[in-house]
Amino acid sequence: MSCITSLPLNHSFEYGMTVTAIPLLLRKKILLGMLAASCLAIFLMLLLHQGEQRTSLKSFSQADSLIIEELNRFRVGPDRIRTFEYPVTEDFTRKRYVVSLPPGISQTHLHAELNRKLGSYRVQTIGHVNVPQRETRILILFDNKIIRTVEFRTETRRTS
């Protein structure tokens, strides 16, 4: 028994036309025209779509500002952030941030928010997690070069 039912060839529609009233070749041309029109409409939509507006990082100090801004959003104060600088070349110094996080702040959530914030500036983040040590190291890349490193270290709860 078939689940698909078909209309008889002389079936009348609401408007008084029958299926056989429209010749087969004309039906095929109408369908082909509708398909072509929908393909053209989709092509125009793709062509005219603005897409995601991303700006490029203007300077490495802008990345520093974005990192500090995101840490402040998570209420991580400057007393919990240590900064180290390592000269790589005579015109480039790589910074390393070591951030002491209080218990309750998710390193993964903070990394995701940093990635979202920096991603809109064409900056990538790569995270490495050391579970036993409760540490996360995030490499911040611009043009496939590591420009900054952020290390999160969650403090252990102290019992009195």
10-residue stretch averages of pLDDT, the chain, 160 residues long: 54 59 82 93 85 78 93 92 93 93 90 92 92 89 93 75
**Helix/strand/coil (H/E/C) assignment for every residue in the chain:** CCCCCCCCCCCECCCCCEHHHCCHHHHHHHHHHHHHHHHHHHHHHHHHCCCCCCCCCCCHHHHHHHHHHHHHHCCCCHHHEEEEEEEEECCEEEEEEEEEECCCCCHHHHHHHHHHHHHCCCEEEEEEEECCCCEEEEEEEECCEEEEEEEEEECCCCCC
Global confidence as pTM: 0.64
Q: What's the pLDDT at 45?
A: 87
Q: What's the pLDDT at 9?
A: 55
Q: What's the pLDDT at 15?
A: 60
